[in-house]
Structure 1
Amino acid sequence: MKNKYVDFISDQHFLECVANLHKAYTKAKNNLTKRNFYSNKVDTIKLTFDSKFNEIDEESLIKGEILRQIDKSINNSIGTFHEQILGGIKGFEVGKLSGFDIKANDDTLFADIKNKHNTMNSSSAEALFQKLARYADTYKKAKCYWVQILAKNSFCNLWHGEINGKEYSHSRVYKISGDQFYALLSGQEDAFFQLYKKLPLAVNDYLKSIENSSAITENSALEEINEEIKKTQRTVLNQITFENYSFYLGFDKL
């Protein structure tokens, strides 16, 4: 029987990956209380400029900032989604905190997956090259890959060059774009395109399947801030500034 979504993994596995990512979104939303929202200090100077220069009302601005914080916590989960999808392809498995993200069952492939091409500094890149080179040296038939799901181009090249002033190269360590890695593992050139095309359908099917489940309480940060405003009569921005910087000279007068 033909799959409903993509050809290279089962429909059930696809929906399980979507469900896992939905749980990550739900957790990120639920975790954003006022306390968590303030944990990294809100830059209310920048928010003032954003409000005035971009002509955004303060409440909409804070909602946007809350969504930005949620988005930061979701980015790692997007990488995990790709790991889980790829780990469902026959002959491959997810690393599960083993030092790699994806490996071939016969140890002929190891990969580290990054969602975007620019998520590493030079020290992280150096450490990753050294790790992949160790796998290649340990498993003599293995090819090892730094996978960039969202890359600037479509490519699969040997990874060589200068990192932190040192020359690095290995005959079986590669850099590869997301589309080519999906093609490599699945044997289907358009595998990544299949995923993109069928993702909305799979997400809609999943959401329909949980429609009748209990309602999810989303982030409470703005609700908590608004409760304080009722008492203090401050603006949203002044309330956030006071709660973040009341110990700064003069800020207790807000």
Structure 2
Amino acid sequence: MANKYLSYISDEHLLSCIENLHKSYLKAKANVSKKKFYSNKIDTIKLTFDASFNELDEVTLIKTEINRQIDKSINNSIGTFHEQILGGIKGYKVGNFSGFDIKATDNTLFADIKNKHNTMNSSSAESLFQKLANYADTYKKAECYWVQILAKNSFNEKWFGEINGKEYSHSRVNKISGDQFYKLLSGRDNALFELYNILPKAISDYLKNFKTEKSQNNSALEEIQTSSKESKRSILDEITFENYSYYLGFDKLE
């Protein structure tokens, strides 16, 4: 029977990838308590500027920050989604924290996938080049790739250049855009576009069979509002105090 969605991966695999990403969404949006909200220090100086320059009241400001944290978590899961999709193509597999994201089962290809082109600093780029070069040196027939799913251009080229003052090049270390990598693994010119095109239908089909559960309300704002009233501080001052009361002078917030 012909596949319903894509020719290069099974319908079951596509739907399982969508399910895994959906679980990441649900987990990220699950009850964001004050403790969870504070797990990464809140930049209240930035929030002070946001409130004034974006004309946001304190409640809207905190809701926006909560949504930003949720979105950041989900963005990390999108790269995993692409890894899982590509790992479902015949002849390839996902690394599962083995040092690579995708490899050919015959060891002729290794790849590290980044969802966006600008997610690495120079030290990370240097480390990645060295890792890919090591795979290329270990597996003499392997082509190794830094994959940029969302790149500025469409390309498949050797990766060479100066990183941290050192010149790097290797005959089998490459950089490649997302569309070209999908083409390379699937053998189909428009493979990434085909995925984009069928996603609405596939997601809709998946959701029809998904049993919705009662969602939890994010309690962080309510908890902060309660402690703010008790301390008689503004919401922003309350967040600042609870995050930085050990800083010089910050314990004096009233």
Q: CA deviation at 1:71?
A: 2.0
Query: Structure 1 215/54 Cα, relative in aligned 2: closer, same or farther at 3 Å?
Result: same
Structure 1: where are the runs of 5+ without partners?
A: none
Q: Which residue number corresponds to residue 102 of structure 1?
A: 102
Q: CA deviation at 1:135?
A: 1.1
Using structure 1 for the length normalisation, give the TM-score: 0.91
Q: How many pairs align?
A: 253
Q: Which residue number corresponds to residue 14 of structure 1?
A: 14
Within 2, Cα distance between the matches of 1:78 and 1:91? Answer: 22
Within 1, Cα distance between the matches of 2:250 and 2:155? Answer: 56
Q: CA deviation at 1:86?
A: 0.2
Using structure 2 for the length normalisation, give the TM-score: 0.91
8 Å CA contact 1:26, 1:218 repeated in 2: no
Q: Which residue number corresponds to residue 24 of structure 2?
A: 24
Q: Which residue number corresponds to residue 85 of structure 1?
A: 85
Letter in structure 2 aligned against 1:201: K
Within 2, Cα distance between the matches of 1:141 and 1:163? Answer: 25
Q: Which residue number corresponds to residue 163 of structure 1?
A: 163
Map Cα deviations across residues 29-49 of structure 1 (whole Å, 9 max, x no partner).
236321121233222232222
Matched, 1:139 2:139: yes
Greater mean alpha carbon deviation, residues 96-105 or residues 230-239: 230-239
Q: Which residue number corresponds to residue 242 of structure 1?
A: 241
8 Å CA contact 1:30, 1:220 repeated in 2: no
Q: CA deviation at 1:53?
A: 1.9
Map Cα deviations across residues 126-185 of structure 1 (whole Å, 9 max, x no partner).
111111111111111111100000111000001111111211111111000000000100
Within 2, Cα distance between the matches of 1:202 and 1:61? Answer: 35
Q: Which residue number corresponds to residue 54 of structure 2?
A: 54
Within 2, Cα distance between the matches of 1:159 and 1:184? Answer: 17
Query: Structure 1 179/49 Cα, relative in aligned 2: closer, same or farther at 3 Å?
Result: same
Within 1, Cα distance between the matches of 2:217 and 2:25? Answer: 10
8 Å CA contact 1:91, 1:104 repeated in 2: yes
What SS does the aligned partner of 1:115 have? strand
What SS does the aligned partner of 1:175 have? strand
Query: Structure 1 165/31 Cα, relative in aligned 2: closer, same or farther at 3 Å?
Result: farther
Q: CA deviation at 1:251?
A: 4.8
Map Cα deviations across residues 208-244 of structure 1 (whole Å, 9 max, x no partner).
222x342132533223223334544544323323322
Within 2, Cα distance between the matches of 1:201 and 1:232? Answer: 51
Matched, 1:176 2:176: yes
Within 2, Cα distance between the matches of 1:250 and 1:46? Answer: 16
8 Å CA contact 2:17, 2:81 repeated in 1: yes
Q: Which residue number corresponds to residue 214 of structure 1?
A: 213
Q: Which residue number corresponds to residue 74 of structure 1?
A: 74
What SS does the aligned partner of 1:13 have? helix
- The Cα RMSD (Å) is 1.9
8 Å CA contact 1:6, 1:195 repeated in 2: yes
Query: Structure 1 240/9 Cα, relative in aligned 2: closer, same or farther at 3 Å?
Result: same
What SS does the aligned partner of 2:140 have? coil
Query: Structure 1 182/251 Cα, relative in aligned 2: closer, same or farther at 3 Å?
Result: same
Within 1, Cα distance between the matches of 2:23 and 2:61? Answer: 26
Letter in structure 2 aligned against 1:166: K
Within 1, Cα distance between the matches of 2:179 and 2:194? Answer: 10
Query: Structure 1 114/131 Cα, relative in aligned 2: closer, same or farther at 3 Å?
Result: same
Query: Structure 1 227/205 Cα, relative in aligned 2: closer, same or farther at 3 Å?
Result: farther
Q: CA deviation at 1:62?
A: 0.9
Structure 2: where are the runs of 5+ without partners?
A: none
Greater mean alpha carbon deviation, residues 184-193 or residues 62-71: 62-71
Query: Structure 1 218/8 Cα, relative in aligned 2: closer, same or farther at 3 Å?
Result: farther
What SS does the aligned partner of 1:4 have? coil
